[in-house]
């Protein structure tokens, strides 16, 4: 399974789409000059994809022992002076806002907030590893010339988490994060181009503490070796406070960027004076593992659009099923089927205007097309047509929807699995 490769991928390997063009054509997102460049908004179909993605992430995080938190997108300037962002990352931050005697800034990362939340309560070694997750906003003062679509934005929603743990637990935690990344890529039908061990380079961007860099780099190498993934070490790509494992993807134009990251950090815990009480009753310094399964929601959705060309995996599709009544007589049956879809948590619409073939063409990105003629309406059945043009013999409506809902719940890439019938419950 690692690195993820699914049968679904073969089709897209040679063709990728420009997500900016497709995003507008499919009414997923857009921008307005009055809101500003690099500040896209999400239209209902794009928001449906994003919500499904966020629900998936929160669900896998819950199952992996993470607890979710919320924290504000603003913080005082002093917070970023302590974290080191002010000294090392200032150019990428928005200018501070003056509020009387204090200055607040839009946060450039979630780490300092999470470190303070950990520090706000006493912790015993028994609570570690403590896994804190949030899909939260962060901001980057990109110049308008480099902004475009969802990949270079000024307001970012990051799938972030920080694991506070003992030094002995750090490798296992980072390794588990790589497993979550691999499983997510399988469910999303995407593949990394390579794993990169990002090390510091020349220049003053990085905190000066050679021992810290060596310790963290050695642990990350151990993680990569244990995971058995080939990787390339590259200087000049680290975070200012430590090395990281970056999972790299390419866009439609062949440009490489980082989607997911895993970091082992000794620097922030020291800056924030984090501690826990050990088995010996003394205070000890925890390690912070920073990790993001799918990186920013914006970049992840941009990549999904480019890889799938709008034909998203069924569990992500803005419209999972379209009901196509053959004539007006079947509209009541179509409405009843659409209602059952909603009850099962499926996103469904009815298309009743125009010829059947034209409606099928219009719905070519919708994973499931449910055709209801006079025979189906009378028998309570439905004829399913899949997005890949496969057609199925009429099935009882409850069975058809039950199978689709099960595939969606399992985050499967295949649109139909005749073998699953026996394990589903039908109504």
| Contacts to Zn ion by CB under 5 A | 111, 290
Q: How far is the CB of 413 from Zn ion (least distance, A)?
A: 30
Distance, in Å, from the CA atom of 89 to the CA atom of 108, rounded to the nearest integer, reads: 8
Distance, in Å, from the CA atom of 342 to the CA atom of 205, rounded to the nearest integer, reads 51
How many whole angstroms separate alpha carbon 283 and alpha carbon 123? 10
Backbone angles phi, psi at 69, to 5 degrees: -135, 170
**Shortest Cβ 290–Zn ion spacing (Å):** 3
Of 287 and 372, which CB lies nearer to Zn ion in the complex structure? 287
Compute the Cα dihedral for 366, 188, 56, 291 and give only its sign: negative
Query: Least CB distance from residue 158 to Zn ion, whole Å?
Result: 9
Packing angle, helices 170-188 and 210-227, rounded to 10: 50
CB closer to Zn ion out of 16 and 216: 216
Minimum distance, C-beta of residue 124 to Zn ion, in the bound complex (Å): 23
Residue 194 and residue 248 in contact, taking contact as beta carbons nearer than 8 Å: yes
Q: Which residues pair with 423 in a beta bridge?
A: none
Nearer residue to Zn ion within complex by CB, 296 or 351: 296
Nearer to Zn ion, 290 or 359 (CB): 290
Pick the closer one to Zn ion by CB: 109 or 366.
109
Give least dist CB 241 to Zn ion, A. 9
Whether 78 and 102 have beta carbons less than 8 Å apart is answered as: no
Could you give the CA distance from residue 175 to residue 40 in angstroms, rounded to a whole number? 34
How many Cα atoms occupy the beta-carbon half-sphere of 256 within 13 Å? 9
Distance in Å, CB of 183 to Zn ion, minimum:
21
Residue number, 70 or 280, with CB nearest to Zn ion: 70
């Amino acid at each position: 399974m690692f690195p993820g490769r699914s049968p679904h991928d073969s089709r897209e390997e040679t063709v990728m789409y420009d997500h900016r063009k497709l995003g507008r054509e499919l009414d997923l997102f857009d921008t307005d000059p009055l809101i500003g460049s690099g500040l896209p908004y999400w239209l209902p179909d794009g928001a449906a994809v994003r919500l499904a993605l966020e629900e998936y992430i929160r669900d896998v995080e819950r199952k992996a022992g993470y607890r979710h938190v919320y924290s504000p997108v603003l913080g005082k300037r002093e917070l970023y002076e302590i974290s080191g962002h002010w000294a090392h990352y200032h150019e990428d931050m928005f200018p501070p806002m003056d509020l009387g005697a204090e200055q607040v800034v839009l946060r450039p990362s979630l780490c300092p907030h999470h470190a303070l939340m950990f520090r706000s309560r006493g912790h015993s070694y028994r609570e570690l590893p403590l896994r804190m997750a949030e899909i939260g906003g962060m901001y980057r003062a990109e110049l308008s010339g480099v902004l475009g679509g969802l990949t270079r934005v000024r307001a970012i929603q990051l799938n972030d988490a920080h694991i506070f743990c003992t030094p002995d637990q750090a490798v296992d935690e980072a390794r588990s994060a790589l497993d979550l990344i691999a499983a997510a890529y399988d469910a999303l039908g995407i593949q990394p181009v390579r794993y990169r061990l990002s090390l510091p380079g020349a220049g003053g961007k990085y905190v000066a503490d050679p021992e810290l860099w060596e310790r963290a780099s050695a642990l990350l190498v151990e993680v990569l070796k244990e995971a058995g993934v080939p990787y390339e070490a590259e200087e000049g790509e680290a975070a200012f406070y430590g090395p990281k494992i970056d999972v790299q993807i390419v866009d439609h134009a062949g440009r490489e960027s980082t989607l997911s990251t895993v970091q082992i950090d000794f620097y922030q815990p020291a800056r924030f004076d984090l501690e826990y009480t050990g088995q010996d009753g003394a205070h000890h310094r925890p390690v912070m593992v920073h990790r993001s399964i799918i990186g920013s929601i914006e970049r992840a959705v941009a990549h999904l659009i480019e890889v799938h060309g709008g034909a998203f995996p069924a569990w992500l599709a803005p419209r999972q099923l379209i009901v196509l009544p053959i004539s007006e007589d079947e509209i009541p049956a179509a409405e009843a089927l659409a209602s059952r879809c909603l009850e099962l948590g499926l996103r469904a619409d009815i298309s009743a205007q125009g010829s059947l073939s034209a409606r099928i063409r219009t719905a070519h990105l919708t994973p499931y097309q449910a055709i209801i003629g006079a025979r189906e309406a009378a028998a309570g059945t439905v004829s399913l047509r899949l997005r890949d043009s496969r057609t199925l013999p009429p099935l009882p409506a409850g069975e058809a929807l039950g199978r689709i809902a099960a595939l969606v719940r399992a985050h499967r890439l295949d649109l139909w699995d005749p073998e699953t019938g026996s394990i589903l419950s039908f109504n």
